[in-house]
Structure 1
C-alpha cells in the first residue's frame, strides 16, 4: 500500500508540475511535448510522464494525436468565443444555485479568498503584459469559491476545467489585450457585493460581463493579435 501511495504522490506531483508549466507558457500552443525531454526535465520515467500527460488530456490542457504524440493545444479565436459562452452559461447557473444554497461559512470563506486576490500583485514586474502565477491562482480560487456552494460536483468540475483553458488562453492573449481599459479589481468587488446581497440576477450578469469584457478585448485584437502574442515568447522560455 505504501508503494502505491508513493507512486500516486509522484504521479500527482508530476501532473501538477506539467499543468503549472503548460499554463505558465513554457511551451507554445501547438508545440509537441517530447517524452524523453520531459523525463529528463522532471527527472522521472517516461511512464510517469505519459500517465500525467494522459490525465491532462482529460483536462483539455494537452492534446493527444494518434501516432504522433502529445501536444499543447492550439488556440483559436472561434474556440475561445465558444469557451467564453459556455463559461458564462455554466457560471450564471452555478452562482444562482450557490446564492440559494450557500451558508454563512461560505460567505466568510468567499470574503477571505477575495481578500487574498486583492492583496496579490497582478502584473509581473519583468513583463507587465502578463499576470503573475500567484494572481492567477488567487483568481481561480475566487471564482471556484463562488461556485462551491452550488452543490453540483459536475458543474464545479466543469468550472475548473473551463477556468484552466481560459487561463491557458490568457497566457497568450495577455499581450494582445494589454491596452484594454478596465478595472478588473472593481469587477471582482462588484461580483462579491452582489453575492453577499444574495442578488443572484445581478451576480450572474456581472460574471457574464466579467468574462465577455476579456473576450471583447481579444476579439478586437483578432486572430493576428493572438498569433503575435504567441510569437513574443519563445518555446521553452
Structure 2
C-alpha cells in the first residue's frame, strides 16, 4: 500500500506540474485510480497531501481541483518565497562548502545545457529542464540546513511553477532571458554575496509574476 501511495502521489504531482490539466479542473479520484492502477482511498490520500503542497485545492462537499489562477495570491506567495529564500540564501552563503560550490556549478551546467523548449513542443516547458531547474534552486539553498525552510521554499516553488507552465506559450515568457538570470544567481552564490543573491532571487521570482500579468492568463482588476 505504501508503494502504491508513493507511486500515485508522485504521478499526480508530476502530471499537475507538467500542465496536463487546466486551472480549475476537477480531479476525479475514480478516474485517477484507474490511471494509476490503485484504489480511490490511496488517490484521496495523495490528493490531500498535494493540497498541503499548494498543488491541489480541496473544496468542501465538491472534491479536489487543480488550483484556479489568482494574481493576488500569486503575488503574496511570491513575496513569502522572496523573504524565505533571502534568509535561506544568507545562511547558505555563510555555511556552504567548496563541495557545495562544485555541486552547484555542475547542476547549473546541466541546466544551461538543457533546452528550455523542445522544437516539437515550443509552447511547453521541457520537463527535463524543469527538473534541472528545481535541482538548481534546491542546491542553491541546501547549505542553510534548515529543513522546514527548505520544505516551505519547495512548496512555494511548486505553486509558482504551475503559473509558469500555464504562461509558457506567451510572448512574455519566450522573450525572458532566464539563462542569464540563472548565471547571475550562480555568480552571486559563488561570490558569497548574500545581499546580492537575495535581490537576484527576488528579481527572478518577480519576473515570473510579470510574465503571468502580461500573458493574459488572468484578468487584472480595474
Q: Same fold (TM over 0.5)?
A: yes
CA distance in 2, matches of 1:50, 1:9: 15
How far apart, in 2, do the equivalents of 1:179 and 1:168 lie? 13
Structure 2 match to 1:86: 80
Count residues in correspondence.
219
Structure 2 residue 53 is matched with structure 1 residue 59: yes
In structure 2, the residue matched to 1:98 is: 92
Q: How many angstroms does 1:121 deviate by?
A: 1.4
Alignment of 1:6-155 (within 5 A): 7-155=1-149
| CA distance in structure 2 between the aligned counterparts of 1:22 and 1:30, rounded to whole angstroms | 12
- Once the two structures are TM-superposed, the CA of residue 57 in structure 1 deviates from its matched residue by 1.2
Q: CA RMSD in A?
A: 1.6
Runs of 4 or more above 6 Å deviation: none
- Note if contact 2:95-2:143 (Cα within 8 Å) is conserved in structure 1: yes
TM-score normalised by length of structure 2: 0.93
Stretches of structure 1 lacking an aligned partner (at least 5 in a row): 1-6, 229-237
Q: Distance in 2 between matches of 1:227 and 1:189?
A: 30
Give the drift of 1:165: 0.6
Equivalent position of 1:226 in the other structure:
217
The alignment's TM-score, normalised by the length of structure 1, stands at 0.87
C-alpha change, 1:25 and 1:181, in structure 2 (3 Å) is closer
Structure 2 unaligned residues grouped into runs of 5+: none
- Aligned counterpart, 2:156: 162
1:177, 1:218 within 8 Å by CA — same for their partners in 2? no
Q: Distance in 2 between matches of 1:9 and 1:148?
A: 27
